[in-house]
A and B are shown apart, each in its own frame.
Chain A
C-alpha cells in the first residue's frame, strides 16, 4: 500500500507549539541531575504518552510544565507563559491530574463552589455528566471516598475546566475495570484540535490506542519522541518463530518471539508499546539513528 496517500494534513493544519522546552536542566539536588539540556516541542491536537522507568523523571517533567518545580537553567514556554511565574491566565488553562493528591472533607458541590471559580470556562453541565458517567456518589464526603473514586472526581473536575493543556500522571492507577473503559471513552471525546494532552503511564495496555505520540525518557534526556505512525513506518512489530539477524530486539512468547525489526517491506503493524519500551532500554544505540 502506498503510504504517501494516507499522510494526514487535515488535523495538523492548526497546529502550533503549545509547549517549547529549551535546554532544560533540572535536578532535586545539585549532584543528581534529572534532565540535562533537554529540549522538546509539543503541539495541540495530540495525546502524548510519556513513558520511562521509575525515577526517569516523568512526574518531574510534568511538574516543570505545571509550574510546580522550577528549572535550574534553560527555558520553558507553555502557551506563551513561563510556568514558574504561575500566572492565573496560564494556570486556568492547565488541568493537572497528579498521581498523589489531597481532597478536603467536603462534598462535591462544596468543592466545586470553592474551586470552579478559578477557571472561567468551567463547564458545570459537563462536570455533572462526567460525575454520572463515572458513577461517583455525590452525597459522600470526598475524604471518605476510595482512592479510585477520588481520582475520578479530580479527572472530572480537571476536564470540566476546559483547560487547553491537560496533564495526567498515571490517570488509570486505581481505576476499576469499567472505569478504565469509561476513561478511554472520555479521553477520546476530550481530545480536540485545541487541546494538548500529556499522559504519563506505566500501564501502557490501558492507554496504547489513545496515545498518538510516544515520548520516552531515559538517562536524563528524551530517548524517543515519535508518532505511532512514524514508529510503525520505520519498525515492524510481529510474532516470529525464529530469531535472525534482521531482528533488533525480541522477547520469548508462547508461540515463538515477539520481535521488533526494521520495516523493510512497508508492513503496517500494530505498535507494541511495551515491547518498544523494553527494546529501547536494551538496544538504545541501534534505535538512535532511526529516530534522530
Chain B
C-alpha cells in the first residue's frame, strides 16, 4: 500500500479497510486481519492499526469479539457508505466546488458528464 502525504496514516488505513469491504474482498461477518498481521503487511506500527480498528469499531464497521479478534459487522457496507459520505462531503467536495466556481461550470453540463461517467464505468 502506498501512503499519501496529506492524511494521518491511521485514517488512510481505515480507507484501505473500507475499500476492501466495498469491493467485497472482505465480507460481512468475516474475520479481519489481526492488528499485528495488518501492521506487518502495511509496515506500520501496530499501535497505528489499533487506532484504525478503534475508529472502525466506533463507526460500527467492525466489532471486537473478545479473545477471537475483529469481525466485519453484518451491515458494514451501509456504515462504510455513510462514513465515506461524510468524508467526501467534508474533504473532497469543497475542492470540487471551488473548481466549479472558479471555472464557471454549469450544473447541467456536470449532470451530463456525470451520467456518461456512470454509464462507462459502472454500466448502470
Contact = CB atoms under 8 A, between A and B. Distances in A.
Interface string A15-42: 0000000000000000000000000000
Given A188-B36, A188-B40, A270-B3, A211 B8 contact: no
A239 B7 CA distance: 11
A193 to B, nearest CB: 9
Nearest to B52: A6
A11 to B, nearest CB: 5
Contacts of A239: 5-6
Contact of B6 (A6, A45, A270): A270
Nearest to A189: B40
Choose among B9, B39, B45, B50 the residue with the greatest number of A CB atoms under 10 Å from its CB.
B45
A209 B6 contact: no
Interface in A228-247: 228-229, 232, 238-239
Contacts of A270: 3-9, 12
Choose among A10, A209, A229 the residue with the greatest number of B CB atoms under 10 Å from its CB.
A209
Contacts of A188: 36, 39-40, 42-46
Interface of B is mostly: helix
Given A5-B58, A11-B50, A272-B5, A181 B43 contact: yes
B48 interface: yes
Given A6-B55, A270-B3, A209 B50 contact: no
A268 B45 contact: no
B46 A191 contact: yes
B45 A8 contact: no
Contacts of A229: 51
A182 to B, nearest CB: 9
Contacts of B44: 188, 209-210
A191 B44 CA distance: 10
- Chain A: interface size category: 20 to 34
A278 to B, nearest CB: 16
Interface string B71-91: 000000000000000000000
B6 A8 contact: no
B11 interface: yes
B54 interface: yes
Contacts of B40: 185, 188-189
Contacts of B51: 6, 8, 229
Given A8-B50, A270-B5, A191 B11 contact: no
A202 interface: no
Nearest to B58: A5
A269 interface: yes
A46 B43 contact: no
Choose among B5, B11, B47 the residue with the greatest number of A CB atoms under 10 Å from its CB.
B47
Given A8-B54, A188-B36, A269 B7 contact: yes
A212 interface: yes
A47 interface: yes
A184 interface: yes
A242 to B, nearest CB: 16
Interface string A41-53: 0000111000000
21 contacts: A5-B58, A6-B51, A6-B58, A8-B50, A8-B51, A45-B47, A46-B47, A185-B40, A188-B42, A189-B40, A191-B39, A191-B47, A209-B9, A209-B45, A210-B43, A212-B47, A228-B48, A268-B8, A269-B8, A270-B7, A270-B9
Interface of B: 3-12, 36, 39-48, 50-51, 54-55, 58
